[in-house]
Amino acid sequence: MSDDALVFVCVTAGTGLGAMVGSALPGARPETIVFFAAAGSAAGAIAGSVTSMIRTASRCPSRSRERPKNDVATLRHRQSPKIIPVRKPGTEPELQKLTPFRKRLAKFTHQNESEVMDDSVGHDSKMRFWSLASIVSLVPPKSARLIRQCLLSIRRAAGRDRA
Q: Is the pLDDT of residue 19 over 80?
A: yes
| Domain contains 106 | no
Give me the number of domains the chain comprises: 1
| Domain contains 52 | yes
| Domain contains 49 | yes
| Domain contains 107 | no
Mean pLDDT over 11-38 rounds to: 87
Note the pLDDT of residue 111.
Answer: 85
DSSP readout, 2-48?
Answer: -HHHHHHHHHHHHHHHHHHHHHHSTT--HHHHHHHHHHHHHHHHHHH
Answer positive or negative: Cα dihedral of 67, 71, 77, 78.
positive
| Domain contains 118 | no
How would residue 67 be classed by pLDDT, with cut points 50, 70 and 90?
Answer: low
| Domain contains 139 | no
Q: pLDDT > 70: what percent of the chain?
A: 62
In which domain, by residue range, is 16 found?
Answer: 3-59
How far apart, in Å, do the first and last CA atoms of the chain sit? 66
| Domain contains 136 | no
Answer positive or negative: Cα dihedral of 87, 91, 95, 101.
positive
| Digit-coded pLDDT (tens) for 91-127 | 666 666 777 778 888 888 888 888 777 666 555 556 5
Note the pLDDT of residue 142.
Answer: 76
| Domain contains 34 | yes
